Structure formats: C-alpha cells, structure tokens
C-alpha cells in the first residue's frame, strides 16, 4: 500500500480520496477548505499543513483542483509539491486544465527528476463516488506505469493517451464534440415539436438512423425516451452548464494556440455562454433545449 498525498477535496476530489482510503492506502490530505479536510479526516485520512508537507513523505501525489493557475501554484509555486516530493514519487494531476499549463507543469516535474502525468476524468461526481471514472492519461510510459495501480482504485477505464498534456487534449476534444452534438440533438427535438412530430417517434427513428449519438441515446434532452436523462428531473445535473462552458473555453484556447479551426466548437461556446449568463450555470447542459425553444 502507498503513502498518498491528496490535494483538492471538492465534489470530485473528496470521493476520489475516500476510494483510495477504502483501497487500504494511507492518505494525507490538503485543501484550503477546513470542512473538506475534516470530512476526510473523519474517514481515516491525516491532515497535512501544506501541499509540500503532504508531498514530502509521499509515494504518490494526487490533485483535483479547479483550473490551471491552481495546479501551477500547488506544484511549481513557492513551497510547491515538485520541490518537496521524493525523487521516486509519481505526481498525478486529475484536474481539467488547459493543455499548455499541463505540459508546462509536467515538464517542470520531469526536469526535477520526478515523474508526473496529467489524468483528467470523465464520469462526474457519480463516477467519482462509485470508483468508475474514466481517466485520460498523458505522460511517459514509465510515469503511466507508476500511476496505473493508483488510478485503478478510483476508476474503471484508464487510457494512456500519449505524452504530457495528451490527457487534457483528449478530454477537451471529447467534450467539445459532446457540446456540439448536444446542441444539434436539442435543435432536432425543438424542430420536431414545431413540425408536429412526436419526440418519442423522432427518438425511435433517429436512435436507429444516421443521426444517432450519445446525446440522444443516453442523455436525451427531452423527457420520456431515456428515463434516466436529466430532462426527466427538470434538468438537474448531471453535467452542469458551467462545466461544459469551462471545457469549451479550454478547447477554444487550445485551438487558438494550435491554429486549429473549430467553427462549431466556437458556436457551441457562444451558445453555452448565453445560457450560462442567463442564470443557468447550475442547470444540466442538456437544458439548453429550452433556450433554443425560446422558453427559459
């Protein structure tokens, strides 16, 4: 069993750290929020005074933080994890952040002789609680091999996506496609309504035809055809609009730096920004169908 430092104990990090405890690891935790730390100490973790203190005796450091600036300061800032961690440790950042910062921080760690991977997740809070997350991992073969047994205690599907930053690249490419396909699916159902075509009929036909996609068959944005989709519970998330907007902005940033054309991704980002700005940031991202219907 490993000595693990876990930094960032929010909606995702809290249950992920609990699963590491359940797997029998010793977990030292740090978060700026005292109640978040206390909850994990109640579950058997020890509290660390700082990220550096947590990392100094760790075989493994896992983080789950809001954005690139937090990741850079926790790892590479003054009193950061990279300077404190033992040389044989593996650092695993599971936050969703921009590709450029992920590559920069992994580069700083590797230059200091410490292995690091970026390992963003898909699966949300439910997946974090049930230890069924999908991890998309960027980093060297050696770093991936060290991270794998730890990730297996928190997730079900773990894919090595290539070198540093490729985990983040996979995450934003996937979520940009999801944002675009959700808007397309919503437009199809909203058009069907205006044309007098029953939603269930459209679903029965389209889910077996060339318009078929995950946004329709697993996450249908109208109530009825897929009883587990957020549309059946007044669009409670699920996957909140604010999260989708964050990922679309990361895709835009990456595309602009890489010189890639993403006209549909840009359009999706604009529409989700409008929906978010209309006070819907906490609404499931499939709720954008109501904006497209002109009914908010």
Stretch 181-240 residues interacting with ligand NAD (CB under 6 A): none
Among candidate residues 72, 171, 246, 280, the one labeled active-site is 171
Please report whether residue 9 would count as binding ligand NAD according to CB under 6 A.
yes
Of 79, 80, 78, 82, nearest in space to 91 by CA:
82
Using CB under 6 A, pick the residue from 19, 31, 116, 254 that binds ligand NAD.
31
CA gap 74, 13 in Å, rounded? 15
Which residue stretch of 3-11, 20-28, 157-165, 267-275 sits at the interface with ligand NAD (rule: CB under 6 A)?
3-11
Whether residue 122 contacts residue 170, with contact meaning beta carbons closer than 8 Å, is answered with no
Active site annotation includes 171: yes
Of 220, 250, 225, nearest in space to 238 by CA:
220
Residues binding ligand NAD: number (CB under 6 A): 24
Using CB under 6 A, pick the residue from 12, 20, 170, 291 that binds ligand NAD.
12
CA gap 245, 275 in Å, rounded? 9
Shorter beta-carbon distance to ligand NAD: residue 9 or 183: 9
CA gap 207, 190 in Å, rounded? 16
Shorter beta-carbon distance to ligand NAD: residue 107 or 124: 124
Helix (H) or strand (E) holding 117: strand 115-118
Q: How many CB atoms lie within 10 A of CB 36?
A: 19
Catalytically active residues, by annotation: 171
Residues near ligand NAD (CB under 6 A) are 7-13, 30-33, 36, 64-66, 70, 74, 95-96, 121, 124-125, 243, 246
């Amino acid at each position: 069993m490993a000595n693990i430092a876990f930094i960032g104990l929010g909606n995702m990090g809290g249950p992920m750290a609990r699963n590491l405890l359940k797997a029998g690891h010793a977990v030292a935790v740090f978060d700026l929020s005292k109640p978040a730390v206390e909850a994990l100490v109640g579950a058997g973790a020890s509290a660390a005074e700082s990220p550096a203190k947590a990392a100094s005796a760790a075989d493994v450091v896992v983080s789950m933080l809001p954005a690139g600036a937090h990741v850079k300061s926790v790892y590479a800032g003054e009193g950061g994890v990279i300077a404190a961690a033992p040389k044989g440790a593996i650092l695993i950042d599971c936050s969703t952040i921009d590709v450029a910062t992920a590559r920069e921080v992994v580069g700083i760690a590797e230059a200091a002789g410490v292995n690091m991977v970026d390992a963003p997740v898909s699966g949300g809070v439910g997946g974090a609680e049930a230890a069924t997350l999908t991890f998309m991992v960027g980093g060297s073969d050696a770093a991936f091999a060290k991270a794998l047994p730890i990730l297996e205690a928190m997730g079900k599907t773990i894919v090595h996506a290539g070198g540093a930053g490729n985990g983040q690249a996979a995450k934003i490419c996937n979520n940009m496609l999801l944002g675009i396909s959700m808007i397309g699916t919503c437009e199809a159902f909203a058009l069907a309504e205006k044309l007098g075509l029953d939603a269930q009929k459209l679903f029965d036909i389209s889910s077996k035809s060339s318009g078929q996609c995950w946004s329709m068959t697993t996450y249908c944005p109208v109530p009825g055809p897929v009883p587990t989709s957020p549309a059946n519970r007044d669009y409670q998330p699920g996957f909140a609009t604010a999260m989708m907007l964050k990922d679309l902005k990361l895709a835009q940033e990456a595309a602009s730096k890489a010189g890639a054309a993403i006209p549909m991704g840009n359009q999706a980002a604009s529409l989700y920004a409008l929906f978010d700005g209309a006070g819907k940031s906490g609404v499931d991202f499939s709720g954008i169908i109501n904006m497209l219907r002109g009914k908010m």
